[in-house]
Structures are given as structure tokens and as C-alpha cells.
Amino acid sequence: MKLELKDLTKRYGDLTALDSFTLTFEPGIYGILGANGAGKSTMMNLITDNLKRDGGEILFDGRDILEMGDEFRAVLGYMPQQQGIYERMTAESFVSYIGRLKGLKGKELRRQVDDVLKLTNLDNVRHKAVGQFSGGMKQRALLAQALLGDPKVLILDEPTAGLDPRERIRIREFISELAKDRIVLLATHIVTDIESVADKVILMKKGKLIKSDTPENLIASLPEDWQPVAHYPSLEDVYMFFLGD
């Protein structure tokens, strides 16, 4: 299973948000790091076909995702950055509805709804309207829907934003379990989230790929005279060194 971005380009007027971006994803967790405006969300919107590309290709197992259409969306799980949600639906209704739109039905739908609600710790509030949820609970509801249908490509845009430390650790561990035979793209500002779970870290700046490697290799690539932010060099140092200006 392979998701390839080839010369992917997106412009907003004079601004190039993604500049001939080329990268291949294979099963594993990819942490995407970049400052605001680096092109992270643009890349995710292009992969989910919510944005029209200006150039390049996105291939899934060698086929362009635009040609694949519904076929690609059947293997896609997406958790958007904005907390857009049907506020007047209950958690169970919301997840069931998304499950329907993913093509699930009957007992299989209900089984998966139960599973993801338990997994995201929403089982005890499943009959509460989502509008009454805190920010963190809404975040979990959005994560729950993304997990439905056993997606092969999982795109998580800031999945731990608004969660308390305990929830963050829980979700992080869960994401690391997901990685088997799955491509997980994880965009976040919280560097520690990526450090502990990502197989590979992608550093983006002004629409370009700056570096892509394992966290260990990236840390090792720091110059010897680099003064670490804390006691030992970490991914935060990598961020500061490569993207910090």
C-alpha cells in the first residue's frame, strides 16, 4: 500500500502554498510538523479532495485518487482541524450517521459505533447532544468517526488539540496501535505527540518539504554545537533548528 504525492502544487493567487511537493507514504505514522502557513492543511485538503490542485498527482497504489473517487474515499478516514460537528445530534447519532456515509450498515455499523465510542471514551455520554460537549469531547467524537470503517489512510489534523494530558496520552497510544498496515498522517503543533508515536517526521516550510526522516535520525542530524532547548536534544530542537526562523 502506497500513497504518493508527486510534484503536488497549490497556489492561492501569488502565494504558493504547496510547491512541487513530492513524498511517498507507506504504512506507518507520519508526523507532519510546520508553522502556520507551512502547507499542512493544504496538503490534507488535497489528499481528501476538498481542494483543487494546480499541479502534480496524488496516487494511491499507483492510481490517481481523482480517478478512484468513491473508491479512494472508502479507504479514507479524516478528522478535520475545525470542530465542525452536528451540534444537535447525540454522539451516537453523529457517529452512526457518518458510518452510514461510509457505507456501513446493520449490525456491523452498530458494532463499530460501539467500538469507537468506547475507544474514545465517549460511551458514557453517547446519548448526550454533541453541542453540550466540551472542546476535548468534540475532538474525541471527531476522532471516533474517523476510525469507522477501518480506514487504510487516516488523516488526523490536530487530533489532540483541546485534550487534557491524560486523554492526549490515551489517544497517542491508540494512534500508535493503529499504525499496523495503515498510513496515518498526523499534523499537530504539539511536538511531543509526534516524538513518541511517529515512525517518520515530515518537516514543512512555506509549502516545501524541508526534511523527512525518523525522529532519531532528525535529532542526530542536529549540528554538534546546537544548544538544546532542554537538557537533551529532542524533536523540539529539530523544529527550532529547521523551521524556527
Partner 1 sequence: MSEWRRVFLSKKRLGIALLLLVFCVGLYVYSLTDTRNPSPYSLKSTIASSRAAAELAEKLEGLPIEEISERIDEYLGRIRDYELWYIYSDDPATYAAVGNSEIVTAEDAEALIRDIPYLYAAKDNRDMFLQGYIAFSRAVGGLKDQTEYLMGYRDYLEGIQAQAKQQSQVGIFSSGSGFSQKNLTKTAKDFEGLADVEVAFGSNAGVESWLSFDFNDYAYLIAIIVTVLAFLEERKKGLWSAIRSCRGGRLPLGLSRLGILAAAAVGFALLIYGSTFVAALGLNGGWGGLNRPLQSLESFRTCAVRTTILGWLIRYFALKAASGMLIGLLLWCLLGSVANIQFSLSVLLGILAGEYILYEFLPVQSVFNVLKYFNLFSYVHTSGLYTDYLNVNLFGFPVGIRRLMLITLPIAGAILLVRALMIQTKRYPEGNKDILSKLSAVINRFFDIFRSRLTIGGWEAYKTLILEFGVVIMAVILVLSRSIYCLYNLTEQDYWYQEYLEELEGPIDESTYDYLARARENIRGSMNEFQLESSLDRLEAEVEKRVRAAEKGGFEPWLVDEKVYESCYGPTAKNAQYRSAALALLFVAFCAAGISAYEQQSGVTLLVRSLKRGRRRLFAAKAVCAAAMAVFVWAAVYIKEFLDFLKFQTPDTFGAPVQNIDALVGFPLKISFGEYLIILYSLRLLMLIFASFAVLLISRHCATLQSAYIVCVTLLAAPALLSVLGVDALKYISPMVPVSSAGQLWAIGSGSLSSVIPWVVWSAIGMTALIAAGVGWGKTGALKNRAGD
The residues of the shown chain that bind partner 1, judged by CB under 8 A, are 12-13, 15, 17, 34-42, 45, 48-53, 66, 69-70, 73-74, 76, 78, 80, 82-90, 92-93, 96-98, 100-103, 105, 109-110, 113, 126-129, 131-132, 142, 145, 149, 155
* Alpha carbon distance 66, 53 (integer Å): 11
- Which grid cell is 79? 478528522
Cβ proximity to partner 1: between 12 and 173 the closer is: 12
Cβ proximity to partner 1: between 109 and 219 the closer is: 109
Q: How far apart are the first and last CA of the chain?
A: 36
Q: Which of 160, 90, 167 is nearest to 128 (CA)?
A: 90
Cβ proximity to partner 1: between 31 and 80 the closer is: 80
Cβ proximity to partner 1: between 95 and 219 the closer is: 95
Cβ proximity to partner 1: between 163 and 219 the closer is: 163
Beta bridge partners of 55: 9
**Smallest separation, CB 31 to partner 1 (Å):** 16
Phi first, then psi: give them for residue 40, nearest 5 degrees. Answer: -60, -55
**Which residues lie below 8 Å from residue 47, measured CB to CB, with a gap of 6+?**
3, 5, 58, 65, 153, 155, 185
DSSP E strands, 38-174:
55-60, 63-64, 76-79, 153-157
